[in-house]
Amino acid sequence: MPVTAILAGSTDVAPLEDVLQAAFWDDPVTTYLFPDEASRSRRSARLFRAMLVRHYLPMRTVWTTSDQAGAALWAPPGHWKLTTSQIVRSLPAVALGLGSNTLRSLRLMGEVDRHHPSEPHWYLGVLGTDPPRQGTGIGSALLGPVLSRCDREGVPAYLESSKEANVPFYERHGFKVTGELRPQGGPTMFSMWRDPQPS
């Protein structure tokens, strides 16, 4: 049965923060920000909750499935970066998740932001699938609505992949590696850009 992507709402926050912390358990950025395995699930779930509630859900650009088996957190052109007021409002929730790693996280995000393209584009901030169901088409389905829109409207898309093993998956969807981000002391990330595809 084909997987269908639907827009997520506020009732999806709890299951999605849980599925995302599981999907990113061994991700290089996650293990860098949350080196303590005993608290990683709890703390990363809080961070994903803050991202969902404070930034992505209000823009109505979070896609999931009817059984919340994964999530794609997209930002439309011109909205990938948090405003100063959003950062201030989000800081208590983010700090609760990151704890003593808050400053290290902010430095990492600042380094990544400095390399972010200036050309208008859709930004894929997060894509994660429940680990037992990875490889079953959920990730592709969650990318579909926005990538189709990009193609219709002639708009590029951009992401950073923190796992080299995921690069071929994104390449199958039209993304190409444009560079490597090597934050000092942090994990290597792969910048990937997708030009709109002709129909």
Checking phi first, is residue 83 left (phi over 0); if not, alpha (psi -120 to 50) or beta? beta
pLDDT for the residue 27: 93
Ordered by where they begin, the domains of the chain are: 6-194 (3.40.630.30)
pLDDT over 70 (residue 96) = no
- Residue 91 reports pLDDT greater than 60: no
Is this prediction's pTM over 0.85? yes
Residue 86, pLDDT > 60, answer: no
- Report the 10 Å Cβ neighbour count for 153: 10
pLDDT at 84 over 50: no
Given a cut of 90, whether residue 33 has pLDDT beyond it is no
List, for residues 14-25, the tens digit of each pLDDT value.
999 999 999 999
Q: How confident is the model at residue 81 (pLDDT cuts 50, 70, 90)?
A: confident
- Which residues are CB-contacts of 39 (< 8 A; sequence separation ≥ 6)? 99
Q: Which of 14-23, 35-44, 62-71 has the lowest mean pLDDT?
A: 35-44
pLDDT of residue 187: 87
pLDDT exceeds cutoff 90 at 152: yes
Give mean pLDDT, residues 94-108.
60
Q: Are strands 62-64 and 122-129 parallel, antiparallel or unpaired?
A: unpaired
164-183 confidence digits (pLDDT tens): 999 999 999 999 999 988 87
pLDDT tens-digit profile of 133-149? 999 999 999 999 999 99
Round to whole Å and give the CA distance between 17 and 47.
Answer: 8
User: What's the mean pLDDT when you consider all of the chain?
Assistant: 88
Q: State how far the Cα of 133 lies from the Cα of 119, in Å rounded to an integer.
A: 34
Provide the pLDDT for residue 87: 53
